[in-house]
Structure 1
Amino acid sequence: MFLATGLFRSIGIWLIETIRHFKSPYVGIWLFWRPALIINSPEIARNVLVKDFGSFRNRFVAAGPGDPIGLNLLTADDPLWSSIRRRLTSIFTASKLRALQHLFDTKTSELIQRIDNTEDKTKISVRMMCTDYTTDVVGTASFGVKTNATLTGEDPIRTITKSFMDFDLLRGISWSAIFFFPEVAEFFRFKMFPKKSTDFFKRIYLTVSKQRQQQNVPGSAPKDLLDALISLKENVGGLNEELSDDTIVAQAVAFLFAGYETSGSSLAFALYELAFYPEIQEKLYAELVEAKDKCANNSLDINTLADLQYLNCVIKEALRKYSPMGWMDRVALVDYKIDDKLTIPAGTPLYVNAIGMQYYEEFYPEPEKFDPDRFLPENEKESMQFTYLPFGEGPRNCIGKRFAQISLRSALAKLVLNYEFRPLPGQPTPSEIDIDKLGLFYVPSHHLYLDFIRR
């Protein structure tokens, strides 16, 4: 059962063990009084996420009533979800994201400056440094404010994002209820984030949006996420109702929450794996040096990084092993035939076991091994479709997928070009890393440390 699992052990670990133990395309579980289904089959996952999406348009997760920023893109049901999603999708096109080149250049340079300025580099918490960086890039894109966490580790927004992941027993119970027991969340009026956090972000949004509205030309296309959020007030896609400031702020906070920890932990895991696989690290370094030498200005931009085959393989493999959110939840809107043996009634929650399939030997031989070569074109197979789901699939996949990929490529490339990473004595190997048991994300429960050797 997810609630007990979430309180005493990692949900991600439990999902990996579930597919290995049952070896079945689906497994029935009880969420206290409610039957639910875990999907271990890529074929059924494809049906739920894409082919029959109309029957699974909504997620099961739901914040309690009165939560000022609970109604966000992660939790909203149709038709509000599709209206907001349609408007925000235009901001995440490749052309719009290229406009953020300066932001990524600045923040990755600050990463290097931070490491250079640290006298004892073995004391750098890799995970904290990486989430400082992702807080800056996601926070700037979400709220249009300058932040300084990458360089110093300190910033008002960073202080709040640290509190996002500060789980204790009570917070673990409230989040488990929000994700798995909506009636409990409604009864106890659980909120996704503390009031202090919501008030802070609402103040930022109201201040910056007022400035933007005074500067922008009416009818002009939104330039970034904040502009797109402001425009939601003007046109909500035919819903014939005005969205509240709380609902607008909810979208920005959801993007920040969903992006900073997931990308930051993925980057930290990638660096940590590279330290233990020096041959992979050097192969990546060689690709980056060759690409950089071919650039006219000796600088790797967003487009160039997107075309680097081995860099993308390394990132894909890191996301396979360490998908921060290991499942996708949906709820059946109608009675639905899973196969000839099972039909589920409307209202049944389903959980696509993404991380379980990504660790299943039948799909990925030696799944515990960090092996980017499995994603080379000659090794990828059509049968791997829907066994690799770090960003989900279908209309309700991660809207920030491109943004996350750019932030990971930019940081990983800059770090590998400037440093060699080596493991430290006494630090756990990748397979020995303890995964957080109280939170919902597949993230380390402790700090990770490496030695950074200047190239």
Structure 2
Amino acid sequence: MMFQRLVECGDELKLCLENIAGRGEVIEVKDILARFSTDVISSCAFGIECNCLKNENAEFRQWGRKIFQPSIGQIIIGILSNTAPVVLDKLKLSTLDSDVSKYFRKMVQETVEYREMNNVKRNDFMQLLIQLKQKGSLDSEQGAEDRSDEEFSGTGETADGLSMNSLAAQAFVFFFAGFETSSTTMTFCLYELSVNPDIQERLRTEINTVLEKHDGKLSYEAVQEMSYLDKVVSETLRKYPPLSSLMRQCSKPYKIPETDIVLDKGTRVVIPVIGLHLDPKFYPEPDRFDPERFSEEEKQKRHHYVYLPFGEGPRICIGMRFGLMQTKVGLVSLLSKYQFSVSKKTPVPLMFDAKSFILAPAGGMWLQIENRRMK
């Protein structure tokens, strides 16, 4: 089952930090969490065991880095894709590095061909895509555990059959959503929990209580019961959305309310996600980390579309559920055993990496890690 592999990766993450926590050392958590995310994605999406937690120079990790550390040329192309897409079409330029694109397509094609030739089946995201490719829909006779895989992988839909290019593209989006975005969300979350130890302790109490109820085992149902964890992750994504803005295109003419401005069909619109998330009109004291903003009562007070960490509507990120579950499993694995605090090397206030494709801390994230104190 895909979720069980997530839990196994979480256990490996705990083990990786065991000696460091025993000495109460200060560590750079962003890179470790990125390696954890790579292990999760490579296994759950592609069926590849790359062991990045043990080998930080694993090939899969190196190719993943290239996506989020673009060259100057790729940055310029990225800007053109939003401001002058016609130029890219004329010049036949792609926002994605051609070598990266070839690597992922080759890997997906080889994985699919091997599984089809050898009748290999695994409970992972790639198997769901292969099923869509072959049948155009997912089997209806699945157990509850397999359906939970669909729920957080975002593939619970039918299709007319996926071509190899479409299959590779879907796998890449899944990789993109779960690789760096989940690791940076966990990074920012641990930072806020270190700065706000009372919130960290309340979350740890919930984690321990729920795990005890489930005989110490982390299950899909156990994570779903952790309501405060959901609030903490949601508040982290509010303050630190992976993408600071979204680009959308009008599908029909639209008149902006209370103005005379009409956006024609085909007009490109930039949605300032971070501007919405930090607007005091929607979130009073927006710089304060307050998970209670996401209580059911508080959520009812504001418009649904002022919270857009994954986009919304038919173009919402297909890897959203998986990314959230990966983030939650990683946090539960860490906080059930360790506690985090600020150190002299912790950046306060935070500075962001201006060269990063997604919102990321400049210079990494240095936090002190210790074994949790038993009461």
Distance 1:168 1:433, change over 3 A: farther
Q: Which amino acid aligns with 1:125?
A: E
Are 2:177 and 2:320, in contact at CA under 8 Å, matched by a contact in 1? Answer: no
Instruction: Report the counterpart of residue 151 of structure 2 in structure 1.
Output: none
Are 1:333 and 1:347, in contact at CA under 8 Å, matched by a contact in 2? Answer: yes
Secondary structure class of the residue paired with 2:354: coil
Offset, 1:215: 4.3
Q: Which amino acid aligns with 1:170?
A: G
Instruction: Report the counterpart of residue 406 of structure 1 in structure 2.
Output: 325
Q: Identify which of 359, 364, 368 aligns with 1:442.
A: 359
Q: Which amino acid aligns with 1:189?
A: K
Q: Identify which of 226, 243, 251 aligns with 1:325.
A: 243
Are 1:274 and 1:280, in contact at CA under 8 Å, matched by a contact in 2? Answer: yes
Pairing 1:158-169 to 2, within 5 Å after superposition: 158-169=61-72
Secondary structure class of the residue paired with 1:228: helix
Offset, 1:233: 4.1
Cα separation, 2, equivalents of 1:333 and 1:284: 43
Pairing 1:184-203 to 2, within 5 Å after superposition: 184-203=87-106
Pairing 1:288-437 to 2, within 5 Å after superposition: 288-295=207-214, 297-339=215-257, 341-429=260-348, 432-437=349-354
Instruction: Report the counterpart of residue 226 of structure 1 in structure 2.
Output: 126
Which segments of 5 or more consecutive residues in structure 1 lack a partner in the other structure? 1-98
Instruction: Report the counterpart of residue 146 of structure 2 in structure 1.
Output: none
Q: Which amino acid aligns with 2:16?
A: R
More contact order relative to length (CA 8 Å, sep ≥ 6): 1
Secondary structure class of the residue paired with 1:382: coil
Are 2:112 and 2:130, in contact at CA under 8 Å, matched by a contact in 1? Answer: yes
Secondary structure class of the residue paired with 2:255: strand
Are 1:107 and 1:150, in contact at CA under 8 Å, matched by a contact in 2? Answer: no
Are 2:134 and 2:161, in contact at CA under 8 Å, matched by a contact in 1? Answer: no
Q: Which amino acid aligns with 2:3?
A: Q
Pairing 1:15-414 to 2, within 5 Å after superposition: 99-118=1-20, 122=25, 124-216=27-119, 223-234=123-134, 243=163, 245-295=164-214, 297-339=215-257, 341-414=260-333
Q: Which amino acid aligns with 1:263?
A: S
Q: Which amino acid aligns with 2:2?
A: L
Cα separation, 1, equivalents of 2:307 and 2:161: 38
Offset, 1:358: 0.9
Cα separation, 1, equivalents of 2:45 and 2:341: 34
Q: Which amino acid aligns with 2:76?
A: I
Offset, 1:206: 2.5
**Percentage of pairs with the same residue:** 28
Offset, 1:350: 1.2
Offset, 1:348: 0.9
Offset, 1:247: 3.6
Secondary structure class of the residue paired with 2:45: helix
Question: Once the two structures are superposed, what CA deviation does each residue of 1:212-247 show, in whole Å capped at 9, x if it has no partner?
Answer: 213449xx9x9532123334544569998973x334
- Alignment coverage as a number of residue pairs: 350
Cα separation, 2, equivalents of 1:127 and 1:230: 33
Distance 1:408 1:277, change over 3 A: same
Q: Which amino acid aligns with 2:9?
A: K
Cα separation, 2, equivalents of 1:246 and 1:381: 41
Deviates more, 1:274-283 or 1:300-309: 300-309
Are 2:242 and 2:358, in contact at CA under 8 Å, matched by a contact in 1? Answer: yes
Q: Which amino acid aligns with 1:172?
A: I
TM-score (norm 1): 0.71
Cα separation, 1, equivalents of 2:60 and 2:130: 20
Question: Once the two structures are superposed, what CA deviation does each residue of 1:249-307 show, in whole Å capped at 9, x if it has no partner?
Answer: 22212221232111110010001111111111111111111112212x31121211112
Cα separation, 2, equivalents of 1:334 and 1:141: 38
Secondary structure class of the residue paired with 1:143: coil
Secondary structure class of the residue paired with 1:229: helix
Instruction: Report the counterpart of residue 89 of structure 1 in structure 2.
Output: none
TM-score (norm 2): 0.85
Q: CA RMSD in A?
A: 2.5
Cα separation, 2, equivalents of 1:292 and 1:227: 30
Question: Once the two structures are superposed, what CA deviation does each residue of 1:182-213 show, in whole Å capped at 9, x if it has no partner?
Answer: 12322443323323322322332222212221
Offset, 1:349: 0.7
Which segments of 5 or more consecutive residues in structure 2 lack a partner in the other structure? 138-157
Cα separation, 2, equivalents of 1:212 and 1:329: 37
Are 1:435 and 1:442, in contact at CA under 8 Å, matched by a contact in 2? Answer: yes
